[in-house]
Structure 1
Amino acid sequence: MGDVPGLDLPRLSDWFADHVPGVAPGEIALSARRISGGKSNLTYEVSDGSSVWIVRRPPLGHVLATAHDMVREHRVMTALRDTVVPVPTTYALCEDTAVVGAPFYVMEKVDGVPYRGRAELEALGRERTRAVSERLVDTLVALHAVDPAAVGLGDFGRPEGFLARQVARWKKQMDASHHRDLPAADELHERLAASIPPEGAAGIVHGDFRLDNALVDTGTDRINAVVDWEMATLGDPLTDLALTLVYQRLAGFDGGTVSDVSNAPGYLTESEILARYDAASHRDLSRFGFYLGLAAFKLAAILEGIHYRYLAGQTVGEGFDTIGDAINPLLDAGLSALKED
């Protein structure tokens, strides 16, 4: 029973036997493999030889404060399990860092594909690709329609002043990973701080909503589960919509540092996504340029943190060597987006 980076399997096996429902008491021997993809929290498929679970823990090494909160991720998925928003079933949460070196949780393994590349969607054809992207938008609308208090998340965040705190938070996160001068980051932050719009009705915000954070059924093309809730909170839902579109813009100018699925023929265009969301949610999109600028700043801060860990040799897996090249174009895109406001 050999370890994998980020998991101490003997300790994890002992903990599983006492905390995960359905596991027979006594000694068990777990095996694990890290699931490829994702440049933030580490996700593992864990098995005792008969059953399979998913384990999530924060990344190794340098971790930005509040950016990899396992407790919040576990709580929001647990709260949403009886809503129309598809989420995995959660089984157990461990806040004892002595087990694997960080907090982690255990959840159901859900069948489905997290489409990350254009080629994957191209294989489906234009019609199915369009259907997948439509369902992604519809799922976002469904999430933003959930009443937080009705599912026990009334205290999950502080909606008042959310946008101002987001501007300050991502500036702090950018500063925490400082290792080079980024003048565009300073300018974008200053312009965002000076132009915060009135906030709309609060809702549950996923915080990193995109297609490869959804598991799509290969037979029906329906979304079986939305995952990666580490940045979920209560706030202005338009921040989710804007981040989804900034990922789409990023794919258009850098070749897909994170994901280039939106480049696949048939995938909804930015204007089609906005129209579909607007028709179903009826939220005010008149100041949407600000939200796009904030989303670009947030994504730049996240990617700069990943780039920082890569330079320090603290990342696990491949695909990190070009992350740093995307930061300045992303910041420039954020500055341009403010002109759309």
Structure 2
Amino acid sequence: MSSGERAKPGAGHALYQHFVGLAMRHGKAHSGHHNRNYVLPLAGSVAQLLGRESGTSVTVRMRRADALPVVIRTWQNEAEILRAVRTVLPNVPQCLFEGNGFAIHSYVEGVPLSSVCGNGKPVDILVIEEIAQILAHMTQVRRAALPGLPASWPSNGQDSQGFLQTLAHCADQQIRRANLSVFGGLFAALGIPEDALTRFAERVPVMTRRPYSLLHADLHRDNLIVTYGGRPPLICVDWELATYGDPLHDLATHLVRMRYPGDQWSEVIEAWVRAMEWTRPGAVNGVHKDLRHYVAFEQAQSVYPDVMRAAASLDESFDQKGLDEATSAVHNALETAQVPLRLRQLPSAAEIERVLFRWRISRGEAHKGLFSSFVSVSWTPDKRFPEHPDFPYAAVQGALHAEGAAPAGRVFKGTGHLNSVVRVPGIEFPVVVRRKVKKVFRRERSFLSEHAVLRAIESSGVPVAAPRVLALGESYPGKYRKDSFAIHTYEGPFDIDRPPNHPVHGLLPHEADRLVDQLSALKGVDYTGLDPAAGETSYNFYNYLSEQLVLLVRHLPKESQQLARQLGLPDAERLRQILGRHQVADRSPMLLHGDLNPWNLVRRDDAMALTIIDWEMAVVGDPLYDLVRHMHLTPTRPEIRDRMFRRWERLLPEAYTRAWQQDWRVYRWIEIVRSAYVDLDRLVTGASLDAPNVRRAVDSYAMTLAAAIASLGLPVRAAASPHLARALT
């Protein structure tokens, strides 16, 4: 039988199956992430069938059925790869036979490098040079000898940029998307944006062209065998993840996965360059400029397998030790991927642990360990909030149980909350479980309780489309302290697998009308229970707003304050003087939303047109401010702006609208100035940059800064050039 021939029915097939059974029972087992390997000697008829002497050791290689799809595969048949590789590296394993779900390979005599030189330890320079030679020799494998490439592969065999972009798209398809049904909600809860790899691919710069060649793509210490005889000293095994592309990618994956000490990277790179210059000189073009991009990709894509493996490990050890280890692994993975994926706001270790705990409990499968007693969700209700008639306590438990298993499309992480949309058996409408993000960087303070505000709106009966609060409480009181949650009605599409539709490009005319109608209706909400001081005659909303902005500027981090001054923005005391030059007319106060950006508006299909969500910045004050702040945060055409003002003036009594024509520009001015400080601080600290409303704001920071300085009547400093402002974004 020829090398690597696939199994056919018959007597020989039965012998091979029997041999595989023997290997599983008596062979020396070695299990990796993707395969189970069993080493044992050949005997009798099987040795004869394979053309080997009896007693010759072979490796029975079986793909693990329980292996997560966490790798990029260019080709599916390792035997075809090995046949091509052996034309240049004849000592790599030979595929002797392929069966249904198994293969028999020749056995490489030796020990893995990892057994004599573990991860993190320095590698001898002679070993490094031998590895470099192996990588260089791979480039000599002819393209024609390899299996066919996928249709999506770059057609130009030297397009380094195209190859890296292809890798990013493959990782998104084969790793992230392939695991969304089980792990998608977990990725979202940890703050990994759904489009993280796509955006990474878009940011890949123009790179130096290098000729494509065969790449191993998984060359780490377990896959390098130190031979007993020393000829050759090293043999490379496990070729199933091999690919064809820029050789610099192989160097990058090798550097990262070998876990070299940091100070040894330069030795490895220099050895690789020397070896490549002899065999494929074009491969070293631009190495020092482009290597970092491939390293960044390796760090970026690894967050998905590392998170999944850590979470899956809880199936076997769901106790505090296992949870601690999984939490640490996830935390390390997020930190590693933070820069290349631009993950701006990483969850704390405590938050990661709770996310993992809820995810594991919600899966509802049997698990081993101390926490196996948590077969159902435990929680305690907030005594201030009685059982809701439309959502009994049993439904609360059902919602909390479903929370951790919510798929990616139903988990939304904003600047302040983690929201999981779920359905509960017996409840006709979907709900959202809301938890505050523990590590929130919010410079703008909130004063009113969102839950109290929503209850006041509901009890008032005003025609305002806002979520209803169904439950408040703490989950897993026996495990965590103050693991608070809220359950609201979900205000997105009834089909919860459809994403909510936000008017990010501005309101349509009928939506503008309905928003004004709802803002005007808020005058019917009794705010005295929310903020009794707001109705006092001495209360001046503009002074309050100005003072809050001054306090915000005063408490910015030192780095943000220094850069603000360099860009020409005044310090807190100077800003107070400038703001004090303005005043607005007295208007009757009412409840305001306080943050009407388009992501806090959800389109709906009925006459209300829009639902207003996220009321945590609600305040009692001048109704003109809510309207103007919305226009500042949302693209608003002049005709829509005029339409909203006219309708607003018509719907509200004169006590709420007097002198608005001259005052609305004052509020617009103060919002421009506020954005200049807040968005600058976000750029400096990286806070909340993963939120879409924040991303859009900082993307236009140069224009915001110019408008703020001009409106403040200050001269533009020489240091505050548009080049510096643009560099921040």
Q: TM > 0.5 between the two?
A: yes
| Residues 67 and 170 of structure 1, relative CA distance in 2, 3 Å threshold | same
Amino acid in structure 2 at the alignment position of 1:131? H
Secondary structure of 1:194's aligned partner: coil
Deviations 1:97-135 (A, max 9, x none): 9959875422111234442333x97xxxxxxx2111211
How far apart, CA to CA, are the structure 2 residues paired with 1:34 and 1:316?
A: 16
Amino acid in structure 1 at the alignment position of 2:392? G
CA apart distance, 1:201: 1.0
Secondary structure of 1:200's aligned partner: coil
2:641 matched residue in structure 1: 270
| Residues 335 and 114 of structure 1, relative CA distance in 2, 3 Å threshold | farther
1:329 aligns with 2:715: no
Out of 226, 237, 248, the residue aligned to residue 612 of structure 2 is: 226
State how 1:16-27 maps to structure 2 within 5 Å: 17-19=379-381, 21-24=391-394
| Residues 38 and 221 of structure 1, relative CA distance in 2, 3 Å threshold | farther
1:290 matched residue in structure 2: 666
CA apart distance, 1:243: 0.5
- Asked if 2 retains the 8 angstrom alpha-carbon contact of 1:92 and 1:105, the reply is yes
More RCO (CA 8 Å, sep 6+): 1
State how 1:36-115 maps to structure 2 within 5 Å: 40-47=415-422, 50=425, 52-59=430-437, 61-64=439-442, 67=445, 72-81=449-458, 82-94=461-473, 104-112=485-493, 113-115=500-502
2:650 matched residue in structure 1: 279
How far apart, CA to CA, are the structure 2 residues paired with 1:239 and 1:73?
A: 19
| Residues 166 and 217 of structure 1, relative CA distance in 2, 3 Å threshold | same
How far apart, CA to CA, are the structure 2 residues paired with 1:299 and 1:293?
A: 10
| Residues 16 and 172 of structure 1, relative CA distance in 2, 3 Å threshold | farther
1:196 aligns with 2:570: no
How far apart, CA to CA, are the structure 2 residues paired with 1:195 and 1:55?
A: 43
- Asked if 1 retains the 8 angstrom alpha-carbon contact of 2:515 and 2:610, the reply is no
| Residues 273 and 29 of structure 1, relative CA distance in 2, 3 Å threshold | closer
Amino acid in structure 1 at the alignment position of 2:669? G
| Residues 322 and 244 of structure 1, relative CA distance in 2, 3 Å threshold | closer
How far apart, CA to CA, are the structure 1 residues paired with 2:409 and 2:576?
A: 36
CA apart distance, 1:137: 1.7
Deviations 1:195-237 (A, max 9, x none): 133431111111012443222213x362353111111111112
Secondary structure of 1:138's aligned partner: helix
Moved more, 91-100 or 291-300: 91-100
| Residues 321 and 135 of structure 1, relative CA distance in 2, 3 Å threshold | closer
Out of 235, 239, 252, the residue aligned to residue 625 of structure 2 is: 239
1:213 matched residue in structure 2: 600
RMSD after superposition: 4.0
| Residues 289 and 91 of structure 1, relative CA distance in 2, 3 Å threshold | same
Structure 2 gap ranges (5+): 1-181, 191-346, 363-375, 382-386, 494-499, 714-729
Secondary structure of 1:117's aligned partner: coil
| Residues 294 and 326 of structure 1, relative CA distance in 2, 3 Å threshold | same
1:142 aligns with 2:521: yes
CA apart distance, 1:144: 3.8
1:130 aligns with 2:515: no
| Residues 323 and 293 of structure 1, relative CA distance in 2, 3 Å threshold | closer
CA apart distance, 1:269: 2.5
| Residues 223 and 337 of structure 1, relative CA distance in 2, 3 Å threshold | farther
| Residues 335 and 77 of structure 1, relative CA distance in 2, 3 Å threshold | farther
Aligned residue pairs, count: 310
How far apart, CA to CA, are the structure 1 residues paired with 2:676 and 2:665?
A: 17
Secondary structure of 2:669's aligned partner: helix
How far apart, CA to CA, are the structure 2 residues paired with 1:117 and 1:228?
A: 16
Moved more, 80-89 or 59-68: 59-68
Secondary structure of 1:115's aligned partner: coil
Deviations 1:75-113 (A, max 9, x none): 101110132222111023358999598754221112344
Out of 530, 534, 541, the residue aligned to residue 162 of structure 1 is: 541
CA apart distance, 1:45: 1.9
Secondary structure of 2:551's aligned partner: helix
| Residues 334 and 16 of structure 1, relative CA distance in 2, 3 Å threshold | farther
- Asked if 1 retains the 8 angstrom alpha-carbon contact of 2:596 and 2:633, the reply is no
The TM-score with structure 1 as length reference comes to: 0.72
Secondary structure of 2:700's aligned partner: helix
1:174 matched residue in structure 2: 553
CA apart distance, 1:153: 3.0
The TM-score with structure 2 as length reference comes to: 0.37
2:569 matched residue in structure 1: 184
- Asked if 1 retains the 8 angstrom alpha-carbon contact of 2:519 and 2:592, the reply is no
Amino acid in structure 1 at the alignment position of 2:569? A
Deviations 1:9-33 (A, max 9, x none): 4469777644384353699453234
Larger Rg: 2
Moved more, 109-118 or 317-326: 317-326
- Asked if 2 retains the 8 angstrom alpha-carbon contact of 1:290 and 1:337, the reply is no
